[in-house]
Amino acid sequence: MENRVAVITGASRGLGRAIAIDLAAHATHVILAARDVASLDAVAQSIGAGAATVVAADVSDPAGMQALVDHAVGQFGRLDVFVNNAGVAPQSSVEQTTDQEWARVVDINLNAAFRSARALAPVYREAGSGRLINIASVFGLLGRSGFGAYGASKAGLINLSRVLAAEWAKFGAQVNVVAPGYISTDINAEIRENEAFMKRVVSRIPAKRMGEAHEVANLVRYLALDAPDFLTGQVIAIDGGESAS
């Protein structure tokens, strides 16, 4: 199907940027959403004229996700794919995590996905189709010291996605989860220069390397564009075997 329309949150860098570029290369107009408009403009330029639209969006704004869905449908008359990629991953023990930090992480990583789903449901119901891909993390499957708020938010996102898959299947929409492990992006470039850190990380990964952003983007594209309609409610870890060991 040509002329598909996809929204990607957190599209200004890292996985979001890679996902947007990959989808745009496969007959999809991408709506790039994030707070950093200058960075979004740079992503749009790398994609090429006419294939990307930039929208300033703050996923922590209670009205932001509804506005984003309304913008896409209003401008293009359709919305085929929504990728919830925006997120934060602060590190601190549960004991040291404040109420404010806990609320911030849950709001960005989980509440925003809930709000996007609430906005998407009537659109997908009317269309009789639609794909929602939520970007979680293997930390939502594993307990990892120092990531209580992050892990809890991603675990919540996984279960929310399963509920949505069960609710939406009757009107032809699919919801799936991609759970990346350690992925090399510009976001973690500095810490990847720490030899001790990299040795510790790689020692936990059976593949003995970090993943690459294009590998995650390839999986998201499959779920967004090519996966069968009967595939829904699934969590796919892309982590070099970390969650399996």
Catalytic residue set:
150
Distance between start and end Cα atoms, the chain: 39
Per the CB < 8 A criterion, the answer to whether 80 and 126 are in contact is no
Half-sphere exposure of 23 (CA within 13 A, CB side): 35
Half-sphere exposure of 183 (CA within 13 A, CB side): 26
Per the CB < 8 A criterion, the answer to whether 83 and 6 are in contact is yes
Per the CB < 8 A criterion, the answer to whether 84 and 34 are in contact is no
Cα–Cα distance measured from residue 203 to residue 212, given in angstroms and rounded to the nearest whole number? 17
Cα–Cα distance measured from residue 211 to residue 184, given in angstroms and rounded to the nearest whole number? 6
